[in-house]
Structure 1
Amino acid sequence: MEQKELVMQWMDEGMVSVPQVLLMNYRKLNVSEVELVLLLQIFAFKQKGHHFPTFEELANQMTISASDCAVLIKKLMQQQLITIEQGDSTGYESYSLKPLWKKLAESMLQQSRQSALQQAMSEEQDLYSLFEQEFGRPLSPLECETLAIWIDQDHHDSVIIKAALREAVISGKMNFRYIDRILFEWKKQGIETLEQARDYGQRFRKQQSSPEQVQRSKKAVHFYNWLEQ
């Protein structure tokens, strides 16, 4: 057979686009390599319009027997990874991979939630460490509780809490009541990003550093006193 004819034959056979998510996550569904290939063979047959290949047809594409295919198909159905559907109009049976895609989606969603939880826990731990570093001592139980309330109840982003801590450090007022007032004021003003917090603080410092304020304070350095608001 000439090379041109061979290439044309390959093209006539078509191509199977394998979902990357399946290759990356099949082990988490307790699917073995042989079962994976069987699923891919079913997927390939369906893409060609053959929705219910026989055990013999599947086995011919693999290195296992038709009886082994039957056993694996039964196992995959018990694992609720595939089902056999009855056609509404044609009446023909067909394999459905919808349960497989559903389980993959659920697995990915669970991974995403777990990753987000781990990231949140890491950020929270970093936040506690930062506060202890700036305060130069371990936080008291009441301070730890206050910090937890800012995160869990008030839903302040860790970046905003760090910005409020920085504001307190700049102002030389290292206490939780002062930081809590900053967070309250920022939330009231709709401040949700670090850039907004910086701009807001700079505006007030400029007001405090106006010529009238400087002359009245004899060039003393002023910072915005959040507790007076």
Structure 2
Amino acid sequence: MKKIVVLTGAGISAESGIQTFRDADGLWEGYDVMEVASPQGFEKNPKLVLDFYNQRRKQLLKVAPNEAHLALKNLEEYFETTIITQNIDDLHERAGSKAIIHLHGELLKVRSTKISRIGAPVILDWKKDLKIGDKCINGHQLRPHIVWFGEAVPLLDRAIEITQEADILIIIGTSMQVYPAASLVNFIKDDTPIYFVDPRPSISKNAFNNLTIIEKTAVEGIPELVTQLIKTN
């Protein structure tokens, strides 16, 4: 069975009603990203950071997977499919996809601010508001389970390993400017087919060998691409 790796970014979730991570002026829904997405911001004003993610969490619970999320799930019947996402939402999971790597963390999880004696933070599922004073079993304050600017990406090595094995790479709704996630495309085998789905593609047709650019939104382009791949499998 061929292996497909799907790299998804904010564009696929935007069509479900989730605002994109940041725009050209470095703001995230009116906030300076360094105030709400960095260890320094959390140390300076933890209440602001917790309130920010509480609002994001409430928003996430009100939206649903779109046609692109649902189409990607169908790939699993014909290919060994892994989704590597930069998104912190759970829309791929709710659409039914099974193998998902969240490079930047998960909004519906929280973790302790300090590691335990075994060298790992306590990670909990979390759907309600997170407040100052909410602590793990070891007595440490809980924080969003998000990879902030300046922090290591724990699952990057695993994502690289999977990308190296890909027979087909699909890139959806990402600017390919956020590193280290954007570097994954450099780990595919020579001449691996790449499908880049974005209404405003940020790469040229000559950027990679065997590249197909689909200038459509995820909802428009992904169901068509999935149907094509299944037919030609």
The TM-score bracket by the shorter chain reads under 0.3
TM-score norm. by structure 1 comes to: 0.24
Q: Rg bigger for which structure?
A: 1
Q: Which has the higher contact order (CA 8 A, sep 6+)?
A: 2
Structure 1 or 2: more helix by fraction: 1
Structure 1 or 2: more strand by fraction: 2
TM-score norm. by structure 2 comes to: 0.24
